[in-house]
């Protein structure tokens, strides 16, 4: 979860303007700016457009405004006048000094546990983020993720997923932002929370409820158990037919015995499949 940390150095007018633009986006950074603005009066904007991986642009009284990445907003190092580190986003408007917003990223309470569960399931987590290298490295360190990339654009995320797929990997992509949509579509399987951007939810194969990450490893466990039960039921059906059909052909099974055997086999297969519900009940 992101929160603004340099709010005391930001003019209320700039914060209100940034929040007005950010309110048109579902990106976590945008949500944090809107939350930081609180009850401030927000200006009316025209032509708000979101550029995936870069930011948003808008028009206010004929003036072009940008809110986004340093490079996209053409920010030079000379404009950085504080030493605060974290996720940064810039507000630019013609004729005025650019405004830097610094946000601190707090891990979800169950993030470390979820990553650990994924490892125990035999998966190796990879972190792909459009954020700055120092911020991503810090988050990766907290999660003990050794394979990570920073300042990655949406197309680059998708390219990394495709490269892993071409290498014979089956990739599960988890993301919630507009920037994650191409990678979600490129994954072997993909998941997004219900709070994700609409385009990400459309691209995802699975949508899970709530802000927690625990549904990700839980879904994998459920899917693996379901696959195991399907194989078991195929085996049960095979052995039943391998025994019952020859007996029936030899005339050793009366109609009553055949009916009971058929009903019993169907009941066994159904009860075995219902073990999946028992598994979900124990976890819930």
At 87-139, the pLDDT tens digits run 889 999 987 889 999 998 788 889 999 999 999 999 999 999 988 888 899 89
Which one is predicted more confidently, 197 or 125? 125
Task: Look at residue 255 in the predicted model and tell me its pLDDT.
Answer: 81
Domain's final residue, options 53, 84, 105: 105
What is the domain extent for residue 30? 2-105
25 and 115, same domain (yes or no): no
101 and 118, same domain (yes or no): no
225 and 212, same domain (yes or no): no
pLDDT beyond 80 at 38: yes
Task: Look at residue 273 in the predicted model and tell me its pLDDT.
Answer: 87
82 and 28, same domain (yes or no): yes
Strand pairing partners for 38? none
pLDDT beyond 70 at 282: no
User: What is the domain-level CATH number for residue 74?
Assistant: 3.40.1110.10
pTM here is 0.74
Strand pairing partners for 49? 57
At 244-277, the pLDDT tens digits run 888 888 888 778 888 888 888 889 888 888 888 8
At 45-62, the pLDDT tens digits run 989 999 988 999 999 988
- Residue 63 Rama label (left phi>0; alpha psi -120 to 50; beta): beta
Mean pLDDT of the chain: 88
Domain's final residue, options 217, 239, 260: 217
115 and 203, same domain (yes or no): yes
Mean pLDDT (whole number) for 13-39 = 91
Task: Look at residue 81 in the predicted model and tell me its pLDDT.
Answer: 57
pLDDT above 70: percentage of residues in the chain: 95
194 and 254, same domain (yes or no): no
279 and 238, same domain (yes or no): yes
Mean pLDDT (whole number) for 59-74 = 90
Domain's final residue, options 217, 241, 270: 217
pLDDT above 90: percentage of residues in the chain: 51
123 and 211, same domain (yes or no): yes
32 and 54, same domain (yes or no): yes
User: What is the domain-level CATH number for residue 145?
Assistant: 3.40.50.1000
194 and 180, same domain (yes or no): yes
83 and 57, same domain (yes or no): yes
pLDDT band for position 5 (cuts 50, 70, 90): confident
Task: Look at residue 79 in the predicted model and tell me its pLDDT.
Answer: 55
174 and 136, same domain (yes or no): yes
Closest CA to 15 of 33, 27, 28, 1: 33
Task: Look at residue 177 in the predicted model and tell me its pLDDT.
Answer: 82
As for how many domains the chain has, the answer is 3
Mean pLDDT (whole number) for 41-45 = 91
């Amino acid at each position: 979860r992101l929160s603004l940390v340099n709010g005391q150095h930001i003019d209320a007018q700039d914060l209100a303007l940034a929040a007005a633009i950010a309110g048109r986006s579902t990106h976590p950074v945008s949500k944090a700016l809107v939350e930081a603005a609180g009850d401030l009066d927000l200006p009316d904007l025209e032509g708000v457009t979101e550029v995936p991986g870069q930011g948003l642009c808008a028009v206010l009284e004929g003036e072009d405004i940008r809110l986004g990445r340093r490079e996209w907003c053409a920010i030079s190092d000379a404009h950085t006048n504080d030493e605060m580190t974290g996720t940064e986003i810039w507000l630019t408007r013609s004729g005025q000094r650019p405004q830097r917003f610094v946000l601190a990223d707090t891990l979800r309470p169950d993030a470390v546990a979820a990553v650990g569960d994924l490892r125990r399931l035999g998966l190796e987590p990879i972190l792909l983020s459009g954020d700055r290298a120092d911020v991503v490295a810090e988050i990766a360190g907290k999660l003990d993720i050794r394979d990570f990339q920073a300042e990655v654009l949406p197309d680059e995320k998708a390219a990394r997923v495709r490269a892993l797929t071409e290498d014979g990997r089956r990739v599960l992509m988890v993301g919630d932002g507009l920037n994650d949509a191409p990678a979600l579509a490129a994954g072997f399987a993909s998941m997004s929370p219900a709070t994700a951007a609409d385009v990400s939810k459309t691209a995802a194969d699975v949508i899970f409820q709530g802000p927690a990450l625990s549904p990700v490893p839980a879904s994998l466990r459920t899917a693996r158990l379901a696959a195991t039960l399907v194989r078991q039921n195929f085996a049960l059906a095979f052995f039943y037919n391998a025994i019952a059909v020859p007996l029936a052909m030899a005339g050793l099974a009366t109609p009553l015995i055949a009916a009971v055997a058929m009903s019993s086999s169907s009941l066994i297969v159904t009860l075995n499949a219902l073990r999946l519900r028992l598994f979900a009940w124990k976890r819930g």
